[in-house]
C-alpha cells in the first residue's frame, strides 16, 4: 500500500478531527516527504511506554496510536492473575490531547473487560504511581510527556508493583501491539461504562499522609515548626499540574510563607514563559528568581509539568545558585541518613551517570548502596530488591533532577522531594547555615565531586548516524588519555564489559544499554549515551578534587572546574562531536 493509500485508511479510522484534517491537507497537497515522515515507522514502545510529537500517523502521538497501544497493554494484562478485577489506574496531565488520550485509554481497557480507576481532573505523575500500589491495581497509565517540549505527549506505564515497566515487559507489550491487525479499528467503551469509575478524594488523602510522614508533624509544639514558619519559599510548577498538591503538602507541614509564580501557576500546554518546560534548562527559573529577589526568599522550588522532577535554587553571595541534580540528591541523602530511624538495613541508590559522591556518603553512614542504569525503572527495582532482602531504601536519585524519598512512590516524586528539601532548608536556616555550606562540608569530608552534563540535540536525517558513530568510535578506538590523564578503564554497557588499562576484561552486572564510560586515573568519569525519551546525545562529566584542610572549598572547586573543562573537551573530540 502506498503512502497516500495508507493515509486515506488512517483518515477513515481516525476519531480525531484535528489529525484527520492534518492528513487530508498533506494528501491533497501531495507532500510525500511529510507523509513518509508520519508513516515511515511507528513510534517505538519502550522506556516506560511511548512518547513523541503530536500529529497524525503511526510515527506520531495521536488517538489511533493511543488506542492501539492500550489494546496491546490490555492483551498483555490478560495473562495477569485477576487483572480484570484489580483494574488499571488512568491519569493525565494538562498537555494538548492528554484528556482525549486518557478517555480513549479508559475506553479501550473497559472494552477489554478491565476495571478502570480513573483519576478525575489533572493528576501529577507521582499520584498515579502511588495509586497503583495503594489500590492493588494490575497496572497504571499516565498520559504525559513530562518535561518534553509542548509539541510532545506520551503514555507512561506502571506495573502492579508500582514501578515503571522494564525488560521484558516492555518487549512483551510491544509484541502485543505488533500482533494487532493493522486494519483493525480498536473498540472503545463509552465514558459512562460501568467498568470505569472515578477515584474519590481518599486517594489524595492517602498520598498526602504518606508524603507528610517523611517529615516531623506540623503544629505549634512540633519540633521545627517555628523554623518552617520562618522559611520563605518561592515555588513554580512551570505551567504544569503539581501546584495544588505541592502547596497543600507544604502548608500542612507548617510552611506558611510560600509564594507561587503567578505567570506559571496555572496549567498551560503551550508553556508560554519558558523555551522548554524543563527545570534543568537555563532560564526556566528566571521568573522564580525575580519573585524571590522581591520577596527576600530563602529557597526556590520548582517542579516540571507533571510533577515528577524537582529543581531548587538557594541564595549564595547575593545571587541565586541553582542546585544540580547531584547536589540535591547528595544533600537529601546526608540529611535523611543523619536523622530519624537508624540501622544497617537502610540503603541509598543512584545511577551510573550520577555523582560518585553518594557512594562515599553511604560508606560513611554504613548503609547499603546500589548503582543502576539510568532511569527510575531501574532505581525502583533496586528499592524492591532492598525490601526483599529486609532492607529499606531511604533515598534514590538520578542527576536529571529525579528524587525518590522513601518508597511510598516507587518512582521519582518531585512533590515529596520538594517537601523534604524545604524541611532541610528550614533546619539549616535555624542553625545559621545553608545548603551551600552543607555542600562544602560534604566536599571537605569526601572530596569535591564536580559534575556537569551536556546535551547534543540530534536533528535531521543524519541524527541517528551521529549518535551511532560517536559511541562506536569510543568503543573501538578509545583514547589512551584525556587532557594528559591516563584512562584506566572503558566500560561498554552495550557489550556488558569493562576493559582495564592492561587489557583485562571484566563483566558488568547491569543489563545491556547503549552507554560508554571512561574512568581516569584521577577518579574522573566521562560518559555518553543517547537519550531514551528525546532526540539527544547526552554527555556526563565528573571529576574529584581533594580539599586541603587549610584551603577554601572554592579553591578546590576552581581546580576541579579547570580539569573537568579540559577533560570534557578532549572527550567530545574523541567522540567526534
pLDDT single digits (tens) 237-296? 999 999 999 999 999 999 999 999 999 999 999 999 999 999 999 999 999 999 999 999
Q: How far apart are CA 482 and CA 484, in angstroms?
A: 5
Annotated catalytic residue within 146, 225, 416, 524: 146
Residue 221 lies in a domain: no
- pLDDT of the residue at 48: 72
Residue 457 lies in a domain: yes
Same domain, 262 and 312: yes
- pLDDT of the residue at 221: 53
Q: How many CA atoms lie less than 13 Å away from 412 in the CB half-sphere?
A: 28
Cell of 301: 522550588
Q: How many CA atoms lie less than 13 Å away from 315 in the CB half-sphere?
A: 21
* Structural domain total, the chain: 3
Same domain, 154 and 246: no
Q: What is the span of the domain harbouring residue 511?
A: 448-575
Average pLDDT of span 566-577: 93
Residue 138 predicted with pLDDT over 70: yes
Residues with Cβ within 8 Å of 99's Cβ and at least 6 positions away in sequence, in order, are 92
SS3 of 161-209: CCCECCCCHHHHHHHHHHCCCCCCCCCCCCCCCCCEEECCCHHHHHHHH
Cβ(219)–Cβ(194) under 8 Å? no
- pLDDT of the residue at 488: 95
Same domain, 35 and 24: yes
What CA dihedral angle connects 492, 497, 500 and 504, to 10 degrees? -150
Residue 220 lies in a domain: no
Q: How far apart are CA 20 and CA 26, in angstroms?
A: 10
305-361 pLDDT, tens digit per residue, is 999 999 999 999 999 999 999 999 999 999 999 986 677 799 999 999 999 999 999
- DSSP 8-state symbol, 216: P
- pLDDT of the residue at 217: 82
Residue 225 lies in a domain: no
Same domain, 332 and 188: no
Residue 224 lies in a domain: no
Cell of 24: 487530508
- DSSP 8-state symbol, 235: E
- pLDDT of the residue at 222: 60
How many beta carbons lie within 10 A of that of residue 390, not counting itself? 7
* String of DSSP letters for 48-84: TEEEEEB-SSTTSB-HHHHHHHHHHHHHHHTTSTTHH
Cβ(403)–Cβ(310) under 8 Å? yes
Cell of 175: 509484541
Same domain, 325 and 364: yes
End-of-domain residue from the set 421, 446, 471: 446
- pLDDT of the residue at 41: 82
Instruction: List the alpha helices (DSSP H) in 392-434.
Output: 414-431
Q: How far apart are CA 56 and CA 14, in angstroms?
A: 9
Cell of 40: 515511515
Average pLDDT of span 199-211: 94
- Residue 101 CA, chain-centre distance (Å), reads 21
Same domain, 306 and 356: yes
383-423 pLDDT, tens digit per residue, is 999 999 999 999 999 999 999 999 999 999 999 999 999 99
End-of-domain residue from the set 409, 430, 446: 446
- pLDDT of the residue at 503: 82
SS3 of 336-390: HHCCCCCCCCEEEEEECCCCCHHHHHHHHHCCEEEEECCCHHHHHHHHHHHHHCC
Same domain, 420 and 460: no
**Over the range 106-118, which residues count as b (16 or more CB within 10 Å of their CB) and which as e?**
bbbbbbbebbbbb
Please give the share of the chain, as a percent, with pLDDT higher than 90: 86
Average pLDDT of span 437-455: 95
Please give the share of the chain, as a percent, with pLDDT higher than 70: 98
Same domain, 286 and 424: yes
End-of-domain residue from the set 425, 446, 467: 446
Residue 190 sits at φ, ψ, to 5 deg, of -70, 155
Band (pLDDT 50/70/90 cuts) for residue 193 is very high
Residue 533 predicted with pLDDT over 70: no
Cβ(181)–Cβ(9) under 8 Å? no
Same domain, 416 and 429: yes
- pLDDT of the residue at 1: 62
Is 98 a known active-site residue?
no
Average pLDDT of span 55-77: 97
Q: How far apart are CA 311 and CA 288, in angstroms?
A: 11
Residue 502 predicted with pLDDT over 90: no
Same domain, 211 and 355: yes
Residue 197 predicted with pLDDT over 90: yes
Q: How far apart are CA 247 and CA 422, in angstroms?
A: 12
Residue 220 predicted with pLDDT over 60: no
451-470 pLDDT, tens digit per residue, is 998 888 887 767 778 888 99
Residue 147 lies in a domain: yes
CATH, residue 530 = 3.30.310.50
Residues with Cβ within 8 Å of 529's Cβ and at least 6 positions away in sequence, in order, are 353, 374, 471, 513, 514, 515, 516, 537, 538
8-56 pLDDT, tens digit per residue, is 999 999 999 999 999 999 999 999 999 999 998 889 887 679 999 999 9
Dihedral sign, Cα of residue 238, residue 242, residue 247, residue 250: negative
Of the listed ranges 110-119, 121-130, 456-465, 529-538, the least confidently predicted one is 456-465
Pairing between β-strand 196-198 and β-strand 116-118 as defined by DSSP bridges: parallel
Same domain, 346 and 254: yes
Residues with Cβ within 8 Å of 293's Cβ and at least 6 positions away in sequence, in order, are 320
Q: How far apart are CA 141 and CA 164, in angstroms?
A: 10
Residues with Cβ within 8 Å of 500's Cβ and at least 6 positions away in sequence, in order, are 488, 489, 506
Same domain, 63 and 193: yes
Residue 165 lies in a domain: yes
Helix then strand then coil, in percent of the chain rounded to 5, is: 40, 20, 40
What CA dihedral angle connects 155, 159, 165 and 168, to 10 degrees? -130
Q: How far apart are CA 134 and CA 207, in angstroms?
A: 9
Using DSSP's 3-state secondary structure scheme, residue 491 falls into strand
Pairing between β-strand 536-545 and β-strand 525-530 as defined by DSSP bridges: antiparallel
CATH, residue 275 = 3.40.120.10
- Any idea which residue has 496510536 for its cell? 65
**Nearest partner of 371 among 476, 204, 491, judged by Cα:** 491
Residue 133 lies in a domain: yes
Q: pTM of the full predicted structure?
A: 0.93
Q: How many CA atoms lie less than 13 Å away from 344 in the CB half-sphere?
A: 1
Average pLDDT of span 527-532: 88
Amino acid at each position: 500500500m502506498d503512502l497516500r493509500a495508507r493515509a486515506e485508511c488512517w483518515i477513515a479510522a481516525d476519531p480525531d478531527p484535528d489529525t484527520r484534517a492534518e492528513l487530508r491537507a498533506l494528501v491533497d497537497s501531495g507532500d510525500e516527504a511529510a507523509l513518509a515522515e508520519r508513516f515511515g515507522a511507528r513510534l517505538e514502545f519502550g522506556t516506560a511506554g511511548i512518547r513523541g510529537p503530536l500529529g497524525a500517523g503511526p510515527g506520531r502521538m495521536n488517538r489511533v496510536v493511543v488506542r492501539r497501544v492500550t489494546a496491546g497493554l490490555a492483551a498483555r494484562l490478560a495473562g495477569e492473575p485477576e487483572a480484570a478485577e484489580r483494574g488499571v489506574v488512568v491519569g493525565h496531565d494538562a498537555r494538548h490531547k492528554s484528556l482525549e488520550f486518557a478517555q480513549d485509554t479508559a475506553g479501550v481497557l473497559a472494552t477489554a473487560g478491565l476495571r478502570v480507576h480513573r483519576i478525575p481532573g489533572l493528576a501529577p505523575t507521582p499520584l498515579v504511581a502511588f495509586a497503583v500500589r495503594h489500590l492493588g491495581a494490575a497496572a497504571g497509565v499516565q498520559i504525559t510527556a513530562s518535561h518534553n517540549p509542548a509539541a510532545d505527549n506520551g503514555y507512561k506505564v506502571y506495573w502492579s508493583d508500582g514501578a515503571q515497566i522494564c525488560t521484558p515487559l516492555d518487549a512483551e507489550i510491544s509484541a502485543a501491539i505488533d500482533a494487532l491487525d493493522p486494519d483493525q479499528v480498536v473498540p472503545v467503551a463509552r465514558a459512562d461504562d460501568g467498568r470505569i469509575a472515578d477515584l474519590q478524594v481518599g486517594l489524595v488523602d492517602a498520598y498526602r499522609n504518606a508524603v507528610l510522614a517523611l517529615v516531623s508533624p506540623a503544629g505549634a509544639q512540633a519540633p521545627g515548626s517555628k523554623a518552617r514558619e520562618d522559611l520563605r519559599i518561592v515555588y513554580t510548577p512551570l505551567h504544569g499540574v503539581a501546584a495544588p498538591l505541592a502547596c497543600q503538602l507544604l502548608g500542612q507541614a507548617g510552611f506558611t510563607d510560600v509564594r507561587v509564580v503567578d505567570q506559571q501557576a496555572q496549567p498551560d500546554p503551550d508553556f508560554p514563559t519558558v523555551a522548554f518546560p524543563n527545570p534543568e534548562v537555563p532560564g526556566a527559573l528566571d521568573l522564580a528568581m525575580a519573585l524571590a529577589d522581591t520577596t527576600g526568599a530563602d529557597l526556590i522550588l520548582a517542579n516540571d509539568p507533571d510533577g515528577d522532577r524537582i529543581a531548587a535554587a538557594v541564595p549564595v553571595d547575593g545571587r541565586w545558585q541553582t542546585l544540580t541534580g547531584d547536589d540535591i540528591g547528595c544533600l537529601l541523602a546526608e540529611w535523611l541518613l543523619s536523622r530519624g530511624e537508624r540501622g544497617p538495613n537502610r540503603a541509598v541508590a543512584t545511577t551510573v551517570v550520577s555523582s560518585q559522591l553518594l557512594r562515599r556518603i553511604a560508606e560513611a553512614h554504613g548503609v547499603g548502596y546500589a548503582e543502576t542504569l539510568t532511569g527510575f525503572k531501574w532505581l525502583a527495582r533496586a528499592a524492591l530488591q532492598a525490601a526483599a532482602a529486609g532492607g529499606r531504601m531511604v533515598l534514590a536519585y538520578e542527576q536529571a533532577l529525579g528524587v525518590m524519598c522513601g518508597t511510598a512512590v516507587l518512582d521519582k516524586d518531585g512533590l515529596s522531594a520538594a517537601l523534604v528539601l524545604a524541611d532541610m532548608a528550614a533546619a539549616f536556616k535555624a542553625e545559621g547555615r545553608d545548603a551551600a555550606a552543607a555542600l562544602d562540608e560534604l566536599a571537605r569530608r569526601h572530596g569535591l565531586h564536580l559534575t556537569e552534563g551536556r546535551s547534543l540535540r540530534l536533528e535531521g536525517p543524519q541524527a541517528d548516524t551521529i549518535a551511532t558513530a560517536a559511541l562506536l568510535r569510543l568503543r573501538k578506538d578509545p583514547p589512551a588519555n584525556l587532557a594528559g590523564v591516563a584512562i584506566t578503564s572503558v566500560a561498554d554497557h552495550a557489550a556488558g564489559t569493562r576493559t582495564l588499562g592492561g587489557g583485562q576484561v571484566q563483566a558488568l552486572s547491569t543489563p545491556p544499554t547503549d552507554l560508554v564510560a571512561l574512568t581516569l586515573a584521577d577518579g574522573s568519569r566521562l560518559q555518553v549515551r543517547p537519550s531514551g525519551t528525546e532526540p539527544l546525545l547526552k554527555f556526563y562529566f565528573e571529576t574529584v578534587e581533594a580539599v586541603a584542610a587549610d584551603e577554601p572549598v572554592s579553591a578546590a572547586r576552581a581546580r576541579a572546574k579547570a580539569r573537568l573543562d579540559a577533560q570534557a573537551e578532549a572527550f567530545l573530540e574523541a567522540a567526534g562531536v
